[in-house]
Structures are given as structure tokens and as C-alpha cells.
Chain A
Amino acid sequence: MALERQAVTYLQATCAQAGCHLPVGPQWPSFAAADLPEFVASERFPQLLERMDPADPADIMPPTRAANPPAEVALVRAWVEAGAPTGCITPPPRPAPAPNTLDQDALFTCALPSEAPPGPPRVRRVGNPEWVHAIGGVLTEPSLVANPFGVTSGPYSTFVADESIDAASLLLSLDALAATHALPSWAYQPWYARDLRGLGVDSTCMRVLAGASDLPDEACREAFIDASFRFATHARAPSAAERALLRSFLDEVLDASRADLEGQRARLRSESGDPMAELDPATLVARRQRALDEVFDASFMLFGALHRAEAGDATGRLTADELAIALAGALTTYLPTGVAPPHRHPRPDLAWIPAFREAQRRGTLDTDAGVRGFVASFFAIASGFSGGRSPLDATYRAELQRDYGRYPPDRRAARRGEYWLAPRIAGFFREYFDYGGVASVAKDDAGETSRWDLRADALGNDELVSAGYGLIVGGTVEEPGMVDQLDDTIARMVVEAETGGQDVLSALLLGRTYRVPAVPYAYDRPLTGTACDPYTCTERECCEGRDERCLTVSFGTDGRAVGVCSATYPPIEWFHAARMYDVGAPILEDAARYPASSVETAQSIFELLLTDAAHDARWVEFPASERAGVLTHPTWLAAHGGNAENDASLVLRGRWIREHLFCESVAGLELVELDASLRPSADTSARARIDEAMGPGGGDARCANAACHGRMNSLGLPFEIFNHAGFRRVTDHGGAPDGSSIVEDWPGRDDLVEIDDALTLVRELAGDPHARRCFLRHVFRYFMGRYETPADACTLHEMEAAFEGGSLMNALAALYGSHTFLHRATTEVEP
């Protein structure tokens, strides 16, 4: 029995990996211990030892090793020689099926729609932005964003179900909470300092609370507790136990505050000798404020403030409050409290709350059909909650303004595109395409092998191209960064597809209108000097002005430096800020339109920016021969690119497609013991280096097998027409850029798929039914905050039907209106 236990446990641990021999998945046989009897009885079983210790090293299993340890081979050999006993022990639990190993066709097959099961009940811990917004903060305040609630155990930030809070994170959240009270009001404003009109809150009571002279009466204290739950922490009324606990804390803190002040007053009278001496009113108010701050902090430490239930009522149907919170979570990171965030313009992603409460009051939400009707309207672009096009006025991009910080808003907001998506939907695309971290991937020589490879430039301007890239990749206070640019690009693709009746996925993969950066007006002012040639005129004698020199102030479309006699050295890297897009001449804001800084106001500049010709010019349509869709956008390419132009960017890009459009797994790296690293070389292309390491006769060709690089490289090679930073190559180490590839294992296709380059690849992907379903699986994962299971087949089926016409919003409406979402199992079941 010991031998059997050791052998089957070893085989399960080593072979039943994602992408390999799991119980569910393409690689037969399953090596789960419980499935081994079937394998032992099969005609393939004699191959086991041959593959573990093969004559030809290329045949080894697992393919991630050069050789298996002799002790492991001996263990399995002894087990085989003992007759490969199975069934004598209780096998270890089967490894959980990896989501990507589930049969995709089965996942979209609903046998009996009327019998769709209820979803799992759960408690979702708050995420990072939810916590910041709940306490009344902004996402641009570092001390608030430093909260620990951004860490999740899944692929998306929404995977917070079942999460709790460890002690280290709790300590950090306490520090973050303590820091809030010292922040300026534009960065943090507690709920009770906001506009509560129309919410049934007794204003006299709130004045008493915020003042210092009177203690709030019984009713006021109860109202404060109630409002704290409804408008800040829970978006629902407190339970009796919750109410009693917080009320007790409030009383204790107010009593302590009163005792403290009485002590201070007595000391003052004693020390001054004046029996009528009174404390400074400011002292009284500050002490009351500290008391309220303490109650505020306590309310945000309640279990329910940090963990939100999705459990349903006694029948398992989501309550109206749970539904409101879940729907809010589809669009925004604010709770549906009805209290306006401290913001001058209404947030469109919260504008649905009155209609929801009205529907609740009328009983419309009492039936599933009623909920589905509301949800359909809720997601429709026409309703204006989930996305749309901003008017060019002070309400521009109202969903962003609060988090951009102070009001009037900073200038980046006005430089964003006018198409918008609700923050949570925008967040889906950012996380699905995984480009949010683009700025953390350092790039050496960003323009290398592109038209902007200026190493041969006589003035040595090559570093400026990298500087321009570095300037814009993370964004500055002047111009939106690359993440924002792709956010805006995607928003336009989605909104136009939704409103034009086109297919959203095709728009995402084939759309050619991108939002690109411009040179902000503040940086093109030196252009007004006398022209000169910086290549021949490097000294003062070329210029007439006493302190002027011939300075490079911009670059032409050919990359050649343009000189102007100037006494001011401009930050010329700005002129390279859009080079990764290769858009020709830089787009310049019209500096002449703007007043001198002494009379500027942020609001007036905001309005000028919206009407500057550069505002429209930032939208650029690219030729079909250059770029198409998100996967050829510089932000995506750079986010999925290496540090150097001939790094293995193609592996990263191919892996993304395998996992996010084919919903398949690549074998993990846990067991990799082969030397497949690329050899250092500045002289060869990435394609050649990959071939050298993994191709026939390479360092270790086993890496290119069907479980590992074979699943990534062929899908990544087409992107070799771009470099690591998303620049289009014009050369590739002595040859023409080559994006050709042959994909052997395209799911759902029996034939080899020949690809010319990234542009033909994205066209294939846009029309591929397997990719389409995979996209919907990721939509499900992000918005439900969990992986799909076979029990979700009817929901996925409904989503697919709704997505037939190409509308993502219809698919979301189907998801949030599904039986599995609206109803929860009344007892916990394993998925």
C-alpha cells in the first residue's frame, strides 16, 4: 500500500497539471490518482516507463525535463513491477479541473433552460477602489490607494469572494484609515460632510453632531447609525445586532468626549481663576470631530462593511439591496447609497439609482421578469449609465473627474477622448487585455528597428525617442498616458459598435481609430523663434539674439531634428511622445489660444482644451496595412513586450492569445528544468533567437512541444512586425520584418492556419467562433468574480444568444438577469 500511495501520489502531482493530464482536458489519459485504473488497463500503459526514461531524450515525459530523477523512475518502476496496484488506498482528492480545461462546447450547451441551477451564495470582501470610494476618498491619493484590498487570489480584481483579511493587511488598512482624517477635502470627504438633501436625514441632528455645544439626543444618535449604514458602509439598514453595537460605541465615544472636555474646562477655570472661563470654540468642535472620526473608523471596521453578502433571502432570491450593490458593481466602484460623491457633476454610472429605487417601490423588481427588464435598460448605452459620448462642456468625462482630484479638474481630463465606458466596464477591458501595467515594463531603446531608430543621427537623438516613450507611457500631469489612450480607444470602439449595431468583439480586434498623445501647448512655445539647422549650426553665431543658440526643438516626420534660435531649451522629448504610433508630424496644441499663466484658471484652460483642434486631431485612423484593433495597439504590444527589442516578446503575446481568446492553458513553469533561455545577442532577431533556443537543433527543442512553447510561439510570431515597445519595425537585424507563422493547433480547426503577420492574425481571430466564446467566458469571470463551471452552462448559453448581434451590453444584461445570478443556493454546495 505504501508503494501504491507513493507512486500514484507522485504521478498525480507531476502529470496532472493544467495544460497536461488533468481529469478534464484534451491530454488523455488523466493522471489523477482516482483515474489511474483506467490508464493501467489501457494499451498505452506500457509506454509509461518508456516515456519516463526514454532511449531518445526527445520523447521524455514530462517534456519540461531533460531527465527524470532516478529515484522517481525507480519508484514508478517498482510500482509497475508490483502489478501497478490501484484501489488499495483511498486516492488523494482529484485535482480541481483548471477552468481552461473545461470543454468549451459543453459550457455553452444548455439542456433545460428552465432548470438552470441557482448560483453559489457568497460573501465578497471589498476591493481596493471600493474601499477608497466608500470612505469618501479619491484614487489619486496615494495614502488611500495604499490600502491592502487590491490583492486577490484570481485573475481579475473582482475575484474577492471568499477572501478575508489577514493581520498584516488589517494593520495597513488601519493606518490608511487613520491617515484619511488629515487629508484635504478634495481627497477625502466623509459621508456626513456631503450633500444629504432629499435623503430624509434630519439636518438639525447633523448640525448638532458636527457642532460642539449640545450632545445629540436619542433619536439623532439612532438616525446617525442608520444613515451611516445606508449612506456609507453597507448601503442597507443595519441589523438589530449591528445597530446595537455601533450605537454602544457611539455613546461611549461621545461620553468620553464630553468627559474630556469637562476635564479641560475644569483645568482651565482652575488655572485662570475664572469660574466662568470657557474653552475655545475651535477646541470644542475639534474634539467633537475627533469623536465622529472615531465612530466613522469603527463603522468601516464592521465585518459587513468589509465583506458584502450575496446570499439571497429565505428563498435564495437576491434581496433588492443585494441586487443594487451587485448592479452597482457592474458599472462602478461606488456603493449605491444615493449620497452623491463630493463632485460637482452627477456621475452617470450612479444616475440609475433613483430609477432602481422607484422600480423597487413599485414592485417591478419583485419578479425575475421585472428585474430583467430593468437590467436591460440599465446596461443599454442609450440609457447613459454604462457608456456613451460626453458633451464638450464642464461635465466632460464626469465619471473620471472625482478621481482626477481637485475641482476644477486637472488638464488630463480634458485631453481624454469623449467616448467613455462606466469605470468597471473600462476596467474589464484593461484587465482582460492586461495592459494596465504597461509602465512597469522598462524598455531599452524604445524605437530600435523602427523608423525612429535614430542611432545614426548626427546629434545622437536616439535616446530622446526612449525619453519620449518614457514620458508618455505612465502619463504626466499634462497628457494622458498609454493606459488612458487605450482606455479611450476601446471606449470608442465599444460605444460606436453598440450604437451602430456592429459586433463589439470585431470592433475591438479590427478597429483602426486610436486616441494618440499630442504635444501640450506648454511645450511648443519655443517654435516661434528663427529657424536654423542644428546639424550645421551648433554655436551662437548662427543666431542673432544675445543669449540664443540653435537648439533642436522638434523633429520632422523623417526623424530629422528641426532647429530654432532660442534662449530656452524646450523639453524636446515631447515631440517623440507619439512615435510609437508612427503618426507622422506630432500633433500640437495651439499655444496661441491660451492665456499667459498669470490669468489662467483651470476651468478656463479646461474649456479651451476641449475646443482646441488638437482635441479632435488626437483621434487618428490608421491604414489597414499598419494596425488593427487592440492587439496591434502600442499599449498592448508594450505591455506584452520584453525589455529589449529582440527579447521573447512573441512568447508573451502568444500566451495571451492562447489563454484569453482560445481559453486554453499552457503547462506551468513549476516543473521546467530545461535550459530554454535565449542567449544574449544584440545582433540577431527575436525570431532567430527563439529558433536557436527552441527550434530543431536548438538548445532544447523539447520546449517547443505541444504543451509548452508550441502553444505560444506560433501565435506570437505574427507580432514580430512590431518591436518590444509597440513601434512598427522597418527592419529586423538585416532583414525585412517577418510576421509569418503557421499555427498547428488552432482550436476548432483541423488544418494548419497560415498567418502572414499580426494583421491577418487579428482578422482570423475576429471571425473565429471559438475565440468569441472564450471572450464571453472572460466576461463572465470578471463580472461574476469567479470562474465559470459546468453549472453555468445555461447562463453562458443565454449570454451567447444575447451576443449574437454583437452587443456586449446585451450579453451583460443576460448575465445579470440570469436565474443563476438572481437566485442563490440556500445551502452551500461545492461547484
Chain B
Amino acid sequence: MTLPRLGRRELLVGAGAAGATLALGHGRPARASDGRPVRFVFFLSGNGMDAATLMSSETKAWVAASRGEPVRDDLWWGEGYGAVRGYGASHRELATIEGELTTAPVLAGLGDLTSRAAVVMGLSELGITGGHSSFHGVLSSTRTVRNDPGGVTIDDFLAGLDCVRGTGARRTPVPAVRVGVSSSPSAVSFETCASGPGRALPLMLSHTAAWDAYVGPLAGGDTAQLDRRTRLLEFAFADATRAREEAPPGRAREQAAAYARSLEQLLENQARFGEVILASGETTLPERPAESLAPLDAMRAQLATVSAALRTGLTNVAVVGMGTGEGFHALRYGVGPRTAGERHALCHQYGDAAAADIRAELRLVWRAEVDAVLTLARALRDTPEIDGDGSMLDRTVIVYTTDNGVGHHARSDDQPVLLLGGEGLGLRTGGRTLIYPEWTSESAERRQVSNLWNTLGTLAGEPLDDFGDPRSRLAPGPLPALVG
């Protein structure tokens, strides 16, 4: 697998990005590189959403004024609006709207977390999708081709940072917990996360398997999986040690030694897992979920596992995919009579005048997703930080977004995002809605999802300007409006 070829112009853009790093460097507050915990949670709602459901009353009023016609209730935001699209042709600068977020249909449950939330709209990542899903595209800001991710996803990038994973006794044994819910019968999905070009990472799709892998050992239950992996690693380490000793001096010996070192590192992770188990005695852990659950209940179970993994220090990065990739097709949510049917068919009827019941039920689904994320946020808010200063939510950024922008057949020209927590890292939320100029505006203020990922890296303590595919970059750097 070769890395994407960069043309001269892309490199020059990259050089520009480097320049911007220098220019911006002094203006940035020092962030989380102080050895204190830093956490990130990514929740991806598969196959896009109707972003109008994230709009507060004030946001809808602003959009209506900007585009000259109201936000309609009977269409996907992003599909079916005809030639006049999005936020209006005159919208060429970042708009900040102070409003009551709980008036947005799917944000009604925000309650006491309203001031710790922000909604971001108008971010694009054009070219990463054009169908039902961007697959790894939304988290990598690159294009996935034939299941082949185009680059590392932000979760893996962050999980690889010492300032996120921790060092010494604070190092998490699991770099990232990745779980999901899918209508696919597969045990894992490789359609959402990646460690680099062509290197997909798995989401565990079974909520019981995820519980068994992460919570079970903490709960004093079955450690068979953990033990099995340790046995394999010990076996391979013994063989690599043998190979190292038998190899003649030179490259072959170095290769065996490198392999032995890698095995040793993973054995250390296994050992750290053991230490976390010992230290997790006081933590409230979820019960093992039932084997067969409806999709939204399975999602809640997966989030409960993520919550336990974060609160015990098993990991500092988590991804939850709700029907991401191709996994959305046959999801039957069952929140009402219409959602007894498969999601794909319902989405095709979403914009039909007579389909108010379908729209209502799908909005309940998005509401349920957000509410489940809020449950996680509250659990972190109610858990004191490891060092006793504030709560875990203060140093956790939760990102709720979709894997396909807005609409059912999307083109990632508008990626709605809900952000929660993270004030202790410097994330500025405040119950605001930020709307960036849409991609067709040719405004210099346009920004991409990659800029949001740059923001997270910067909050983590790793100044980041150039995440994603340089060939499609509009501007380097983070989103200053979210930092402060």
C-alpha cells in the first residue's frame, strides 16, 4: 500500500500550512499537555441526518432571514430544497447564534448541559462521500475507496498521542475502544476507523462481546479473552526471543528483536489492564446486557461500556458507530409503527408530504441517540476527575455527528456536529450555534471537518494544522471560535 501521491501544489499548500503553524503558534493558549487526563468520544450516527433537527428556534429564524425562506419541516436539510441551498447566498462569514438549544427537536434533553454544548454547522468535506456513507471519510477527512480508507482517522491519531493515552501509571491499556451497532450480522465492522491509508480498524458490533472484552474483566467476570490474548503474546514472545538468539548478527537478528519488542509492549498493555482491574473496585459498572436487544438498546449498552471504560481509565478515546458504513440499511429501530420497517426504505420516504409519521419517528431515533450521549456526558460529569480537580466531563470532549453529512444521499457539503464538555481542555461551547459559510459560497471563511479535528488535536496539547487530505484542504489550522 503506497501513500497518496502529493502533487507539487499540494506540497506547497502543505508548506503554507507549516507557515500558518508558526504564525498561529504564539496565539494559542497552552492546552492539555500538562500530564492531566484528556479524553475524546466520537458518536457517529450512520447514513446522515436531517440537520434541521439540531437547529434551535433562533437558528431557524436566522437561516430563514439569511436564505429568504423558512426551514421546512417536511424535507431533509440538505436534500430537496431545489436550487437555493443551505444557509443563503449572502452567508459568507461565520455566524454565531446565541439561542436556546433545547428548542432544537433532538436537543430537548440537554437540560443542565445546555451551556456545556455547542452546535456547529456548515463544515464541509466535499469529495469524501456521495452516497450513503463516507465510511472512514468523516473521521479521516480523506476519501475511502472500495473499503480502503484514505488516511488515519482522528480517533486513532489522538489515541496515539502520549498526551492523550497517558504515560507511566496513567497509560491506558487500551488505546481506543471502538464499538458499534449495525444491521449487518458481522461481529466487527471495518468501515469507520483507520490507522492509516488502507489500514482499517475494527468496531465491535456485538454489545455483549464489547462488554465481555472491556467491562467483564473489570467486573470480576470472565477474563478468558484477556487471558487468551496474553497466552498468545507470551507464546509468540518466547518464539521471537528464540529467533533473536538463533539469528546470525545482522538484519535478521534486528528483525526478530523488533518483533520481540512489539510483543513485549503488548504484554505490558495486558499487564496494565490487570492493574486497571485492580484499581476499579469502587467504580459503578453496568450489568452484562442481554444478548438480544433492539438497535437503540444495543446502542445504549455500547455507550454504557464506553462509559465504564472511560471512568475506570481503561481508555481515553472511544468511538461509537450507530449504523455507520453499510450498517444502517436494515436497522429497525422500533420507536413507532413506521420504524418497524428498515431505515433505508424510510429514508427514501422522509421527504414525502404524507410521511410526517416517518419524519417524526426518525427524529425520535436521533433524539434517542443524543439522549444516550447525554447519559454518558452526565456520568462523566458526576465522576470526579482522577486527580480530584473537577469532573471527568471537564476534560472530555464528546463529538456527536453523522458519517454522511446531511441527508440520506449526502455529499458531505454540510456536516452537523454537536459538541459537549471539554471546557477544562479549552473547548468553548456556551450553548452557541456556529454556522460556517457553505462550500458553494467561495468565501474565505469556509471551513472543513478537518479543521474541527485540528481543533481537537490542539486541545489535546498537540498543535495540529494539517489533518486530512492536503489536496482538498481549504485552510489549515483549528477553528478559533471553538477555542478560548
Contacts and interface: CB of A to CB of B under 8 A. Distances in A.
Given A146-B199, A168-B160, 18 more contacts: A121-B250, A143-B202, A167-B262, A170-B266, A171-B175, A179-B187, A245-B235, A294-B231, A303-B242, A437-B2, A437-B5, A437-B145, A442-B143, A648-B7, A648-B9, A672-B8, A828-B249, A828-B250
A440 B242 CA distance: 43
A404 to B, nearest CB: 13
Given A143-B188, A172-B201, A672-B12, A167 B266 contact: yes
A595 B239 CA distance: 57
B265 A167 contact: yes
Contacts of B6: 669
B242 A241 contact: yes
B243 interface: yes
Interface in A667-681: 669, 672-673, 675-678
Given A142-B200, A146-B190, A439 B258 contact: no
B255 A123 contact: yes
Contact of B232 (A166, A174, A673, A678): A174
A165 interface: yes
B200 A165 contact: no
B9 A294 contact: no
A672 B15 contact: yes
Interface string B166-199: 0000000001000000000011101100011011
A677 B13 CA distance: 9
A631 to B, nearest CB: 17
17 contacts: A122-B252, A142-B190, A143-B190, A150-B199, A152-B1, A164-B254, A166-B262, A167-B266, A169-B262, A182-B186, A245-B235, A298-B232, A440-B4, A440-B148, A652-B7, A675-B12, A677-B9
Contacts of B127: 442
Interface string A106-124: 0000000000000001110
A133 B471 CA distance: 34
A597 B235 CA distance: 52
Contact of A307 (B236, B259, B263): B259
Nearest to A168: B195
B9 A302 contact: no
Contacts of A304: 243
Interface in A132-179: 142-143, 145-146, 148, 150-152, 155, 157, 162-172, 174-176, 179
Size class of the A contact interface (CB-based, 8 Å): 35 or more
Contacts of B188: 143, 175, 179, 182
B388 interface: no
A146 B261 CA distance: 23
B240 interface: yes
A410 to B, nearest CB: 14
A589 B278 CA distance: 66
Contacts of A303: 236, 239-240, 242-243, 256, 259
Contact of A297 (B8, B232, B248): B232
Interface residues of B, number: 63
B160 A298 contact: no
A790 to B, nearest CB: 20
Interface string B328-368: 00000000000000000000000000000000000000000
Contacts of B143: 440, 442
A632 interface: no
B145 A145 contact: no
Nearest to A163: B255
B150 to A, nearest CB: 6
A128 interface: yes
B146 interface: yes
Contacts of A652: 5, 7
A242 interface: yes
Nearest to A120: B251
A643 interface: yes
Contact of A150 (B198, B242, B248): B198
Interface of B: 1-2, 4-9, 11-13, 15, 127, 130, 143, 145-148, 150, 160, 175, 186-188, 190-191, 195-196, 198-202, 228-229, 231-232, 235-236, 238-240, 242-243, 246, 248-252, 254-256, 258-259, 261-263, 265-266, 471-472
A634 to B, nearest CB: 17
A234 to B, nearest CB: 12
A651 interface: yes
A301 interface: yes
A676 B8 contact: yes
Given A146-B202, A474-B145, A164 B259 contact: yes
A307 B247 CA distance: 12
B252 A311 contact: yes
A311 B246 CA distance: 13
A306 interface: yes
Contacts of A642: 7
Contacts of A302: 236, 239
Contact of A677 (B12, B195, B236, B251): B12
B251 A828 contact: yes
Contacts of B175: 168, 171
A179 B202 contact: yes
Contacts of B196: 151
A474 B255 contact: no
Contacts of A162: 251, 255
A475 interface: yes
Contact of B8 (A170, A252, A474, A648): A648
A529 interface: no
Interface in A709-725: 709
A175 B7 CA distance: 35
B146 A643 contact: no
Contacts of A99: none
Contacts of B2: 155, 437
Interface string A642-668: 110000100110000000000000000
Interface string A435-456: 0010110100000000000000
A164 B255 contact: yes
A39 interface: no
A128 B196 CA distance: 14
Contacts of B202: 143, 146, 175-176, 179
Contacts of B261: 167
Interface in A263-320: 294, 297-298, 301-304, 306-307, 309, 311
A83 to B, nearest CB: 37
B158 to A, nearest CB: 14
A470 interface: yes
A45 to B, nearest CB: 32
A171 B266 contact: yes
A125 interface: yes
A604 to B, nearest CB: 27
A619 interface: no
A535 interface: no
Contact of A439 (B145, B195, B232): B145
B146 A439 contact: yes
A669 B11 contact: yes
A249 interface: yes
Nearest to B268: A167
B262 A165 contact: yes
Contacts of A145: 147-148, 200
A685 to B, nearest CB: 16
